[in-house]
Amino acid sequence: MPKFTSRDITVALDMCGCPNRCRHCWLGRADNRRMTERDLRWAVERFRTFVRKGQTEPFFTGVKASASWREPDFSDDYQRLRDLECELSDGEPWRFELLSVWRLARDETYARWARTVGPDTCQITFFGLEQTTDWFCRRRGAFRDGIIATQRLLDAGIKPRWQFFLTRKILPDLPGLLKLVETLKLPERAAALGGEFTLFMHTPGPSGQARHIEHLRPTIDQIADLPAEIVEPTRQHFKRDRLWFTEGELAAQILDGEERFPWGCHKPEHLWFIIAGNWDVFTNWATTEPWWRLGNLQADPLETIIANYEYNQPLGYRTVHTLSIKEAARRYGDPNGQRVYEGGVEELWLGQHSEAEWANPESPPDQPP
């Protein structure tokens, strides 16, 4: 079962959603439903004051609040929401090297404000040039926003870090993207801020939305001639020489290795309970696909939601703690597969298995009645 290795948790609401519906996103493509300050207060208080039956003290020893678990600061009242996170959190609320690219491109004051609360580096994602990036984000203007955001980060003293996703669609666009790095003088401008410009490329993780773009994953032969200008920075970023493996290689490693449980999920060091706009509850163990749903915060007792997590009631949790990873490799892996992964191909098999089991009316229910 998933153990509470720590009683410190984060409660995150999707208060404003995300401007994109990215085709690679492991968090899915949820609807944007506006949630309120009152909603966040109520959710955090429920977890903070939760007492197990037969006990007298709150179960959780520390709770942090987050107003988003997709695009941070997408809401127009982002400064107020940051203040609210600080008010409701035990200790400093989380701040990652991610900002709202959409807002960076539209609000000239946002980057300067972000610099005051952190981070000093911000990651910008490109899937290719304009047509390709807009297609992946399912939004016109996404590529343009990334370029404008890069400029505004630098103007505010924040170093941009460019992340590329390796698919078949980016291959013809790589020369143009690398030319942009040169044209925008990104290494020189980052150096002027006292740092380095970071550039790297990796494959989409094969979970969530990304399971639906596996046909765009390149083969080992298709990436044989990648430009050194992207391969070498990627090696430096990940601190390894071998960057990608075929599905066949990874399946063989799993079949030759030892059994391990759980598998195919994140096993986070710090547990987040992520709450969708309809109040469905998930965690940062895995995706927001229905087989990972713990319950609904408005409809279900919190005792039940916590028990569902601890005792593997949802199909996803049950699978990663009971199904042999070797059996998954035999059922779903392609021993001759030539598509490339950094690792983690078992996430693909887990999604395939869970989807099939979810559709099977004879499968056990995801939660007890």
Q: Residue 118 has what pLDDT?
A: 85
In a domain, 18, yes or no: yes
The residue-averaged pLDDT of 341-352 equals 97
Q: Residue 62 has what pLDDT?
A: 97
The residue-averaged pLDDT of 315-333 equals 97
Q: What percent of the chain has pLDDT over 70?
A: 97
Q: Residue 361 has what pLDDT?
A: 67
Mean pLDDT for the chain?
Answer: 95
For the ranges 74-88, 330-344, 353-367, the lowest mean pLDDT is seen at 353-367
In a domain, 35, yes or no: yes
Q: Residue 4 has what pLDDT?
A: 85
φ/ψ region of 130 (left if φ > 0, alpha if ψ in -120 to 50, else beta) reads alpha
The domain in which residue 334 lies consists of 8-358
pLDDT-derived band of residue 368, with 50, 70 and 90 as boundaries? very low
In a domain, 365, yes or no: no
Q: Is the pLDDT of residue 355 over 60?
A: yes
pLDDT-derived band of residue 348, with 50, 70 and 90 as boundaries? very high
Q: Is the pLDDT of residue 363 over 70?
A: no
Chain centroid offset of residue 305 CA: 22
Q: Which residue carries 């968090």 as its tokens?
A: 27
pLDDT tens sequence across 145-186 = 999 999 999 999 999 999 999 999 999 999 999 999 999 999
The residue-averaged pLDDT of 189-210 equals 97
pLDDT tens sequence across 267-311 = 899 999 999 999 999 999 999 999 999 999 999 999 999 999 999
In a domain, 63, yes or no: yes
In a domain, 320, yes or no: yes
Of 79, 74, 63, give the one whose Cα is nearest residue 35. Answer: 74
How far apart, in whole angstroms, are the C-alpha atoms of residue 297 and residue 301? 7
| 56, two tokens | 């007298």
DSSP codes, 193-261:
TTS--EEEEEPPPSSGGGGGGGGGPPBTGGGTT--HHHHHHHHHHHT-S---EEHHHHHHHHHHS---S
- According to DSSP, the residues that pair with 122 across neighbouring strands are 160
Q: Is the pLDDT of residue 367 over 60?
A: no
Count of structural domains, the chain: 1
How far apart, in whole angstroms, are the C-alpha atoms of residue 279 and residue 282? 10
In a domain, 161, yes or no: yes
In a domain, 295, yes or no: yes
Q: Is the pLDDT of residue 364 over 70?
A: no
Of 28, 46, 20, 32, give the one whose Cα is nearest residue 291. Answer: 28
In a domain, 123, yes or no: yes
CATH code, domain with 121? 3.20.20
